[in-house]
Amino acid sequence: MSTPDVVIVGGGIGGLSTALALSRIGLKVRVLEQAKEFGEVGAGIQLAPNCTRILDDYGLLEEAKARGVVPDSMVMRDAIDGSDLTSLDLRDLERKYGFPYLVIHRSDLHGLFLEACRDAGVELRTEQRVTAYAQDAGRATATTEAGTVHEAAVVLAADGLHSVARKLFVDDQPVSSAYVAYRGTVPVVQAGRPVDLSEVVVYVGPRCHFVHYGLRGGGLLNQVAVFESPKALAGLEDWGTPDELDTAFAGTCDAVQQGLPHMWRDKWWRMYDRDPITTWVDGRIALLGDAAHPPLQYMAQGAIMAIEDGWVLAEHIKRLRRGDGAVDWAGALAAYEAVRPEHCRRVVLTARAWGELWHLDGVEREQRNILLRAREAGDYAFTDWIYGPAALFPEDEPAMFEPIPLQSADRLAQRLRRANAEDEDQG
């Protein structure tokens, strides 16, 4: 392949989806992956309508649906007593936002983008560990550990949580949440209990939560157990171990207990994010995906934000492409940076707050449960800012939701008690 228009560092979901977005508009793209082969580690991933909208634009939605599951509802339950707290009707959600809510195995989604990139002629290179970046007035370069220099008009760094390129922008480190995730997939027939695969379920509990949903057409059950590690809080290096898993979930309901034996106990994922930054572009080098905005997973928007990044950048390149085919890279990157950092800042910070809400204990847990149970089924006030189309310009970014103070649950409970007393008097 001749010198590419764009070099993308990182062959994960963000890098490949961006490579596809750019190749679809006629750019020559080279993707550099540090591993010996392209692949994805993990289990399930949730794709909200703001993502499936983009998959549809790429012509990949039907295949993604075939490889995954389109559930009917999302249900939040209390991890201690197992009671329902609130839910989303995902079929109604699809009618509202125009595109479905989909769950799929990460490797299946990654494979879908990989196949599409190959079909589109993206140059895919493995064993390319990039350790340095440079640029001049007209080109940017990414240099590997072995000394290979990759040159293009623009270099996009989609190199993840531990991004090398991010050091060009800020001297920061990943932020530990002290939480750890255990994952596990098991054939549904071996789950050992009846599971309603029409639901995506999260059980929220004191300093822990448990998620399950179906994958691969409903033949596979995906489960995730997350908890706060006392060892991490104590500053110990050996944290998140299986003994902590067992202790964290000891007081949970039967439905959660029955899922725990199917977790992989030989590996676990410590949960980190980074503080938001507003500068993602330096000349002809730009950050994308987790390199720019690694979140905690509570919003289920990490991979989605990366996919949106690539789509938004491609849309601005199309808009600013001159009649001779030349790209106004300065304009396109400036437009990308004008809109994406603020959106992703909101998601990263909301994910932190959402995680705190999930893990409340004592009186605060009771207050949270009252408020969640009072939510009306058709209330989309908390999703309108996130599930619509990705904004192309700052003025298109929807307004954030209005947080509800936990203390308002006390007033709500008083009103409910009065209403119940009046009903009893009238009865």
Record the tokens describing residue 304, joined without a space: 């989605």
Contact in structure between 372 and 76 (CB atoms under 8 Å): yes
For the chain, the 3-state helix, strand and coil shares in percent, each to the nearest 5, are 40, 25, 35
The values of phi and psi at residue 279, to 5°, are -105, 115
Render pLDDT for 165-204 as a digit per residue (tens, 0 to 9): 999 999 999 999 999 999 999 999 999 888 999 999 999 9
What pLDDT, on a 0 to 100 scale, did the predictor assign at position 426?
Answer: 63
Q: Specify whether the CB–CB gap between 61 and 52 falls below 8 A.
A: yes
- Which residues lie closer than 8 Å to 197 by C-beta, 6 or more apart? 69, 71, 188, 213, 214, 218, 221
Residues 6 or more apart whose Cβ sits within 8 Å of residue 231: 238, 239, 240, 241, 244
Q: How confident is the model at residue 299 (pLDDT cuts 50, 70, 90)?
A: very high
- Token look-up 């999260």 returns 202
Mean pLDDT of 155-160: 98
- For residue range 367-378, what is the model confidence (pLDDT) as tens digits? 999 999 999 988
CA–CA distance, 373 with 364 (Å, rounded to integer): 14
**pLDDT (average), residues 154-161:** 98
Give the whole-angstrom CA distance, residue 223 versus residue 182. Answer: 8
Whether 336 is catalytic: no
Q: Which two tokens stand for residue 48?
A: 């909200």
**Section 290-304 average pLDDT:** 97
CATH placement of domain 6-38+126-173+275-358: 3.50.50.60
Residue 427 has a pLDDT of: 59
State residue 391's pLDDT score.
Answer: 98
Res. 137: pLDDT tops 90 = no
Nearest to 319 by CA among 334, 303, 297: 334
**DSSP 8-state symbol, 396:** G
Q: At what angle do helices 49-57 and 302-319 cross, to 10 degrees?
A: 40
Q: Which amino acid would we find at residue 85?
A: L
Q: Tokens in use for 207?
A: 């300093």
Which tokens in the block code for residue 257? Answer: 């207990």
Residue identified by tokens 């605060």 is: 364
CA pair distance 427, 419, nearest whole angstrom: 12
| Close Cβ partners of 54 (under 8 Å, ≥ 6 residues apart) | 17, 307, 308, 311, 390
pLDDT at 111: 97
How far CA 62 is from CA of 14, 65, 216, in Å, comes to: 20, 5, 13
- Do 257 and 246 meet the contact criterion of CB atoms below 8 Å apart? no
Q: Which of 103-112, 251-260, 404-413, 416-425 has the lowest mean pLDDT?
A: 416-425
- Catalytic entry in 213, 272, 298, 336: 213
pLDDT at residue 415 greater than cutoff 90: no
Percent of all residues in the chain with a pLDDT value above 90, rounded to a whole number: 91
Q: What is the mean pLDDT of residues 142-156?
A: 97
pLDDT of residue 55: 98
Tell me the C-alpha distance between 218 and 425, whole Å.
Answer: 49
In whole numbers, what is the pLDDT of the chain averaged over residues?
95
State the burial class of residue 233 (Cβ atoms within 10 Å of its Cβ: 0-12, 13-18, 19+): exposed
Whether the Cβ atoms of residue 292 and residue 280 lie closer than 8 Å to each other? yes
88 token code pair: 């989303």
Residue 75, number of CB atoms within 10 A of its CB:
18
Q: In the chain, which segments carry CATH 3.50.50.60?
A: 6-38+126-173+275-358
Within 219-290, strands assigned E span 220-228, 269-273, 281-282, 285-287
Q: Which two tokens stand for residue 43?
A: 């289990």
Q: The tokens 């939040």 sit on which residue? A: 76
342-396 pLDDT, tens per residue? 999 999 999 999 999 999 999 999 999 999 999 998 899 999 999 999 999 999 9
Average pLDDT of 2-18? 96
Mean pLDDT within 149-175? 97
Rounded to two decimals, what is the model's pTM? 0.95
Each residue of 23-77: pLDDT tens digit?
A: 999 999 999 999 999 988 778 999 999 999 999 999 999 999 999 999 999 999 9
- pLDDT of 39: 87
Examine the pLDDT at 422 and tell me if it is beyond 70.
no
Over pLDDT 70: what percentage of the chain? Answer: 98
